[in-house]
Structures are given as structure tokens and as C-alpha cells.
Chain A
Amino acid sequence: MVTDTQNPPIEENRFFSPQVRFVLTTVAIILVAVWLSRQFNELIRWPQEWVIPVKDWVTAYFYWLSHDLDFGLFKFRDITRGFSWLLSWPLYWSEVFLYRGWSGLGTLLPIPWPAALIGVGLIGHCIAGWRLSLFCMACTLYLVVFGLWEDAMRTFSLVAVAVPFSASIGLMLGVASTRNAKAESVLKVIFDFMQATPHMAYLGPIVIFFGFGQVPAMMAMVIFSMPIMARCTILGLRTVPASVIEAATMSGCTQRQLLWKVQIPAAQNTLMVGLNQVIMQTLAMAVIASLVGASGLGQKLLFSLQQLRIGTATEQGIAIVFLAIVLDRISQAAANRPPGRRVPHLFWQRHIHVILFAIAFVVFVALAQVSPALSVFPKSLTLTFGPGIDEGVKWFSLHFYPYVKPVRDWVTVAILLNVRLFYLVLPWIVTLSVLGYLSWRLGGWRLFVMNLALSSFVLLSGFWKPAMMTLYIVNIAVIISACIGISVGIWSAHNPRVAKIALTICDTLQTFPSFIYLIPVVMIFKVGDLSNIVAILAFATVPSIRYTYLGLSNIAPNTLDAATVSGCTRWQKLRKVELPIAMPEIMLGVNQTVLMSLFMTTITALIGSRDLGQEILKALPGADTGRGLLAGLSIAFIGIITDRLIHAWAKKRKASMGMSDD
């Protein structure tokens, strides 16, 4: 597996093949570590009294920041309050417009639902034509008819206000990075950590500074999604061809003209992809922020889940999914439009969508004065299938749970508990030594130092046990995920029809906020470790499928033809040609699966767990910032260690096959 390309072949003949040598060394290291841990108890479990109380320091620091830090004229607290106040205004007005209405001087009704419906349809049509338009209208109609309009609009207001902030801050940071190499290298590291830290870990510090509610949720959304925009900006600006930049410079552009007239328009597709990601991430965060009191669909869903009202939860979950899909499809269609479009000459043709919306708005506002049902959809007319689902779940429990339960219990007792036990008794010295050796082999001393530093931090700050619990769940989930994902990926790569179906499912699954996956899992398996694993599987398998498919489809046809002509059977071709070539790509997919699994463990904490996710969740209500933040960072560290290892391996592997990275 790990071959050193630099070594001359002569050396390989000396003892064993490099693979065997690698395995033997690993075994030797494990044996030594185990022997050591037999001698000193401290090497098995880090003694409680040796734990450095970093989390208390962090908690104290944040407390000091938020309560005592005084700049003389004003306190740090006043700054955060100022920010909240600033953000609360656009939110207030978008809420007024979307669902709340206004009763200051005379009464102002919120936008009538038929007008909103038409508005969504017009946006869809403007960007991608009739099909998208009808689809979006259907999704919106669901929100109206099932009485979830107001909650959906609460959630959407958050997104609508957070996205412009996040996108513009991200854009500015991205532009700054492309102009200043030093800024870029610093920001890159920060972004790496920010993106590997799960959503939920942001909520702790936010609560300390901003309290509970809509505005803190929005702060979390902005902070969490901003790095994605910055990254896409850097990527987009970098991909503008050098000749375009040179041509613009030779035309006498100033730096500002270059940015606004050339770089940003020429990179608009990548920037729109970034915007799409920002929208999806802010929505995901808006749902999760219900944990810090953000109202809207997420909060309703959280309550329903906590009361195990599966039917209602399903209705609300579908609403979230529809909201997500509408936002995703519209922003994705916008990203896929070719740069530059012909504009019709006449004013009304150019602005047809705006004009039609204005007409619809005025007409329905007028009609709403006459018939209130056209303003707010009457409660008496709303539909629900919640009770039906509840009945179904009951029926399922009655008839199938007797069969599911033994399977679940058997898997839990026979497999999961044993694996868990293994992770818990494993001495830390063994884990660290193997990690260290692997890092050194794959990435040299730099990777060795970094990985050991990160993992020692987890150990020293006293999060080792929950970290091992996280590893246990994630490891099992990733192994199963990878098996499913790679198989489906291979099947898709060989069968276009399967590919079409699989990729559509992947696209759709990817837009679901992570909360959603808890619903069916709880429905079928109730709670327990297995439920957590299944929820993670559902959430995290997508990248394995996608990358496997990509890796296999990108193999040069010549290579495959050569294999066929050499007389390979299909199986031989797959095993000896396709998989080895695609392996780096596949491993990057597995890498994504690992990161997503780690994220999901913070969500599955809601249905019970004993890992780092649970630490974050428990820290939330008590404002135990240090605990939540450090647990979040520990997850980020696990993610980063895995990510660096896999990247180092893929790079080495690609280099040994003579394929350049990027």
C-alpha cells in the first residue's frame, strides 16, 4: 500500500517487499506500545489529575470577554450587542414582509401567499424556465397547504438576511487573499479548522456573546458559511485565464476596474457555486440553530422529535427538504447559466418578471383586503398527513418491530458492543504510536508533528474517552458507508441508467439538512448506537458514491481499451486496472464520508450518544463554552488528521502513477 517511489528497486529486494515491511513495522510498534502500557498504567488511560484544564480556561476567558472586557468607553459586550442590533433590523423587516405584517401606522399585511407563490414561480422561470418554475411552485404550495408557511418564512427570513452578509464578507476575504499571499496562508489554515468544526460547536460561543434567539442563530449562520464563499472566491479568481487578466491590464484597468469588470464577472460561475453552498449551509445552520432558540421549521421539528411525534416531524421534515430543494435548484440553475446572456432590447421585455410580480403583488394585496383567506392561508383548510404517518408507524411497530428488535439487539450486542469495548480498552499510547508511524510514512516529519500535536491536544485536554467513542461510531459507519458507496459507484460507472438514478438521489440527499435523517431512523430502529450509525450512513454515503463514480469515469478510454485488448475479463479489468487508477479519487470520497460522519455525530447526539457530539450538546444550555468548543475542536482535529493522512496517501499514490495532483 505504501510504496516509496524514491527508493531504487535494488533496495526493495533486500528483505521483504515494502508492503510486508510496512505491516511488520506496524505490528512491532503495536507490540512495543502494548508492552509499555503493561508497565505503566498511565499509558493506558491518561490520569484525570494530569488533564490540563484548558476547557475551564476557555470558559473563563469567554466569560471574561463577554462580561468584563472593558475598553473604557464601552465594553466588549456593547460591541456584540451593537452587532446584534445591526443585524436585527434587516431581519425584522424581512419578517414583516414575509409573514408578520406590521401594525404601526395603519396595518400592513404580509405578502399574500398567492403573490409569494407566483413570485417563486417567476424566479424559477426567469432563471431556468417552466419546469423549474412549476417544480418550485409545487414545493411552495406544500408549505402553504400544510400550514407550515409561517414557520418556513421564519426560517427563510434568517437565510435571506444571513446569505448577503455571509457572501459579501466571504467575497471580500477571498479577494484579499488573492492579493496577499501572507493573508491567504493564514486564512487558509483558519478556514480549514472552521470547516472541519461541526455546526453545533459554533453555537456555544455564540450563546455566550449573543444569547438565544433569531439573531444569534443568524450570527452562527454567517460565521459558519462565510469560509465557503471565501474559498470559492479564491478558486474562481484563480481560474480566470492569465490572458484575460493581461488583456484587461493592457487595456489600462485600474485594480478596482480589474476586479469588478473582469475578475468577478469572469469567475461568476464559480462564485455562484459558492453562493449555492452558502445558501445550503446557512439553511442547515438555521435548522440546527433551533438548539439555541431559533424559531422556525427547525424548532418545530426538534420539538416533534423530542416528543416522538413522528407524523408531525415527517411533515415538518418534508417542509425543510422542500425549502432546501427550492433554494438549491434555483441557485444551482443560476450557477449553471453560461456567462453573459443576450438582453432583449425593450424595457418591458427585459424586466418582464419584475413587472409580472409587481402586478401579482398589487392584485393580491387588493384582493386580500376583501378576502383574508387570500392573505394568510386559513387554518381550517390546511391538510395534514401526520396522523396517517403516526398510524403507519404504530402499525409498523406492531407488526415489524418484533422482527427489527432482535436484529438490532443482536447487532448491538454481538458486534457494536465488542468494537466499542475494543476502542475503550485500547491504550492511548498504542493509538498515538500507530498514528505517528502512519503520519511519518505518508507525509514525513511535518505531518508527524502536526498529527501528534493535534491528537495530544485531545488527550491532554481530557477528551480522549468521548473522542474514542466518536471514533468507534464513525469507524463502523465509514466502513459500511465506503462499502456501499464504492459498490454503488462502481455499478453506476458501468451502467449509465443506474448512474442517472444514483446521482439524482445523491443530489437530492445532499440538500437535506442533517436533522432530517433522524426521522426515519427513529421510526424504524428507535434509539441506540445502531440508530446513530444508520443515520450517519444515510447522511454520509453520498460522497463515496460520487467520487467513486467520478474516479472510474475519468479513466482514459485508451487505458480501458488496452486492458480489453490484453484479454482482461470484466472482473480483471475492474480489479487490476480501474480500481487501482481510480483509488486516489475514491479515497478522497471516503475522506469526505469521514468528515460528514464526524459532523453527523453531533446531530445524532440528539437521539442519545456518549461521544464528543454529546459533549457539545450538553454544554449548550449551561453555557459551558470551554467544554462545547473544545469538543467541537476535537472533532475538527480528528477530521483534519484523517483528511491530511488521506490526502498525503492520495498524493503519493498519484505521483507514483505519474499523475499530477491538481
Chain B
Amino acid sequence: MTKTTPHQNPPSSQPTPSSPTSSSKEKTAKISCHNLWKLFGKDPSRFLNQNPSPSPDSLKDEGYIGAVQDVSCEIYDGEILIIMGLSGSGKSTLMRCISLLNPPTSGEVIFDGQNLAQASEPELINLRRHKMGMVFQNFGLLPHRTVLDNVAFPLEIQKLNKDERIERARSMIELVGLEGRENYFPRELSGGQQQRVGIARSLAVEPDVWFLDEPFSALDPLIRRDMQNEFIRLQKMLNKTIFFITHDFDEAVRLADRIGIMKDGRLIQLTTPEDMVRNPADDYVAEFTKHAPLEDILSVNIVMKKLSNGKVPEGSHTLSAQAKLHDIAADVLRSDHVFTVVDDTKKPVGTLERQDVIDALFGAPSLPNSK
């Protein structure tokens, strides 16, 4: 907690209605992981049996690499959970543990009440055929199949009849906006188009849970932006439970309901973007969030002065409590007025003026004579 980070001194420090504890209570967990460990080394499972929660030092002494260390988390139905971290922090391995592509050394993965770590191969195959979809950084398209056949592949694996799978694949291709390219081969498409194929393929089985492993990292910045918008559009239509990995904080902020930060195999903090920029768990998280686009993250209800006496400034404009600063800053900064903040039911909950916005975005003044 260093002084230089501006957002640690917000004008109002009362708990806000959107704090993670209150919002998560209404939600049900689609997947929950308990004490996941993934070690690489000689005989990791025996080692973990002998000492169930080894310290990083003892791991190192015994020659094991702890790719995932004691991670517990829940992925709620219909939320976008984004895991962030530098390369080698174990985020990809965590995703592979949860999807059982790479079974965890120990721990539980509960998917709809079923412990996947104990599931048999046929059970897993069945689950993958119907409930999971995954998108890969390097697309993972089959080079010898056309776009249509790539998208139809998971359906073919399930031995769906040909007409039906072609029809469903076509509708998926339409969904991602690739109509007309059904007969192209992956090598004839641009990176962005290839990833659209990857997305269409992962959605073809209409999965409940959608895993995305740095889906846009291999793309150019402009196309990445484009694909993020596409992703937002799709999620609005489909409302899947999403487990998403990225190393790009801006991307995480744009897309996430909740963000988790991983370092050296451990999940350090898992919370909403707003809470993370305001209350980073440690210096590492603070460093991550330092250059975060605050105006996109902070919403009015966090920055505003709470209405203490119920008095509303007369004749002032109203702002929505859920609006991001990005959307209202231009109005507020240009005006000398105090704005009234109202919640969803149009009930006034607080006030906001120019000073609040400036403090939230740029921090408290450092020169004594400024206002």
C-alpha cells in the first residue's frame, strides 16, 4: 500500500453495494475448486501425500515445480471470471486442471456437483462433448479441414448425423460472422478469422462452461479490440459461464465480472475489478493495477459522496449510480454543479461533483496551496 497510488484514497471509503461479498451470495457456483495442486517432478502425488501443503521452499528443495499451488475458487453461473498473471504464473495450468486436460495432482474440481478429479475417462469425454467448450491462444484448428468441418468436428466426434451437424456448424459460423468462408482452409484465413473459427467450434456443442485460454493474445491490437467487442456481443446473447485467461490487464478490465491474479502458482486475489484497484491485496497486485484505466473501472457509486442527510441538491442533474466514470466525466468536469446520483429505482443515493472525479482519477493534490 504505497502512497503514490491515487485510488487508495477515495473520497468515500464506506463499503459499496457492489462489493464481492454481497453480490456473490445470490449466485450459485457452477464450478468450485478446492485446494488444487499441480506439481511437476519425479513423483508429485507421493510427495503431496506426505506433506499436503508444502511451502514454496520445500518444493524447491525437493526439486518440484509448483505450477498450481493450493488454489481454491468458485466460478459462478453466468459470470465471466478472468485469471491474470505473467507467463509462467500457472494460469494456463490452472485452466487445464479445471478442465481436466491436465489432471491436478491433488484437490477437487466440482462441476455441477460432480468431482471431476475422480471422474472416469468416459464420464469426462461425455462432459466435454456436451458441457465444455475451449478456445486456444494458437487457435488449435485442424489444418486439413475446412472452416465448416472444423466447426462441425466436435459434433462429428459425438457421431451426430451429417445433416444436423452441418446445419449447426453453419449457424455457428453465421454467429461469428464468417458466412461465405465455410469452404476455406485455416491457412487461408487471417488470425482474427481463425480465432472466430475456434470460437465457433467451441460453441458448436452449446457448452455450459466456456474456457478461453488467452484467446486474443496472438492477434494484432486492432483486431484484438474487435474480437473483444465480438466476445461481449456473444456473451450478451449466450450468457455462458466463462473462465478466461489473459495477461492483458486492460482486456481483463473490459470483459471481467471478477478478476483473479496469479503469481508463482498461487491465486493472490480474486475480486471485482473495482475492488482490486481500490484494495489490492499486496504490492504485486498494486503494481499490476497501477496503470489500470480507472475511468473504465470505477463506477459512480464508488466515487460519490453518500447521501448522509437525504438532502438532494436542488435542480441538479441526475447520474446513474452504475455508470462508469468514463461515461460521465466529460459532463461532470465541465460543470460547476453538484450532480445527484440515483440508483436503479431512481432513488437518490449520493452526490457527485467535479472534485470527486478529479480525486478519484488523479489522486489527492501534492502541492499544499492547491485547493
Binding site for B on A (CB under 8 A): 241, 243-254, 257, 261-262, 265-266, 268, 338-340, 342
Contact = CB atoms under 8 A, between A and B. Distances in A.
A257 B157 contact: yes
A601 to B, nearest CB: 43
Nearest to B137: A243
Q: Is the interface of A mostly helix, strand, loop or mixed?
A: helix
Contacts of B153: 248, 251, 261
Contact of B134 (A250, A253, A338): A250
Contact of A244 (B133, B141, B202): B141
Interface stretch (B42-50, B123-131, B355-363): B123-131
A253 B144 CA distance: 17
B237 interface: no
Nearest to A254: B125
B140 A247 contact: yes
Contacts of A339: 143-144, 185
Nearest to B145: A340
A187 B25 CA distance: 58
A248 B136 CA distance: 11
B138 interface: yes
Contacts of B127: 252
B143 A247 contact: no
A52 B201 CA distance: 66
Contact of B140 (A243, A261, A340): A243
B144 A244 contact: no
A267 to B, nearest CB: 10
B265 interface: no
Contacts of A251: 128-129, 153-154, 157, 201, 205
B351 interface: no
A262 B201 CA distance: 15
Contacts of A257: 157
A254 B141 CA distance: 18
Given A250-B211, A252-B128, A252-B129, 12 more contacts: A243-B138, A244-B143, A245-B140, A246-B101, A248-B157, A250-B99, A250-B101, A250-B134, A252-B125, A339-B185, A340-B144, A342-B146
A340 to B, nearest CB: 4
Which 4 residue pairs of A and B lie closest in terms of their CB atoms, listed nearest first? A252-B129, A243-B140, A247-B140, A251-B154
A244 B140 contact: yes
B158 interface: yes
Contact of B146 (A246, A253, A340): A340
Nearest to B184: A342
A241 B198 CA distance: 15
B37 interface: no
Interface in B100-146: 101, 125-130, 132-134, 136-146
Given A265-B142, A266-B143, A252 B158 contact: yes
Give chain B's interface residue range (CB within 8 Å of chain A): 35 or more
A247 B213 CA distance: 11
Contacts of B132: 250
Interface string B187-198: 100000000001
26 contacts: A241-B138, A241-B140, A243-B136, A243-B140, A244-B140, A244-B142, A245-B140, A246-B136, A247-B201, A249-B101, A250-B99, A250-B101, A251-B128, A251-B153, A251-B157, A251-B205, A252-B126, A252-B130, A252-B158, A253-B125, A253-B157, A261-B157, A266-B143, A339-B143, A339-B185, A340-B185
Nearest to B128: A252
B128 A247 contact: no
Contacts of A265: 142, 144-145
Interface string B227-260: 0000000000000000000000000000000000
A268 B145 CA distance: 12
A252 B185 CA distance: 23
B183 interface: yes
Contacts of B129: 251-252
A268 B140 CA distance: 16
B59 to A, nearest CB: 24
A248 B154 CA distance: 8
Contact of B139 (A243, A250, A253, A340): A243
A249 B211 CA distance: 13
Contacts of B101: 246, 249-250
Nearest to B135: A247
Interface string B171-188: 000000000000101010
Which of A248, A250, A252, A340 has most B Cβ within 10 Å?
A250
Which of B129, B143, B145, B156 has most A Cβ within 10 Å?
B143
A254 B158 CA distance: 10
A245 B139 CA distance: 11
A518 B143 CA distance: 45
Contacts of B138: 241, 243
Contact of B133 (A248, A250, A254, A262): A250
A618 to B, nearest CB: 51
A343 to B, nearest CB: 10
Given A247-B201, A250-B211, A251-B153, A340 B99 contact: no
A339 B145 CA distance: 8
Nearest to B155: A251
Which of A243, A253, A265 has most B Cβ within 10 Å?
A243
A266 B142 contact: yes
A250 to B, nearest CB: 4
A354 B202 CA distance: 38
Nearest to B129: A252
B144 A247 contact: no
Contacts of A262: 142
A394 B198 CA distance: 70
Contacts of B146: 340, 342
A340 B137 contact: no
Contacts of B145: 265, 340
Which of B137, B140, B211 has most A Cβ within 10 Å?
B140
Contacts of A241: 138, 140
Nearest to B204: A251
Nearest to B150: A247
A248 B149 CA distance: 13
Given A252-B157, A342-B183, A246 B126 contact: no
A240 B140 CA distance: 10
Interface string B66-96: 0000000000000000000000000000001
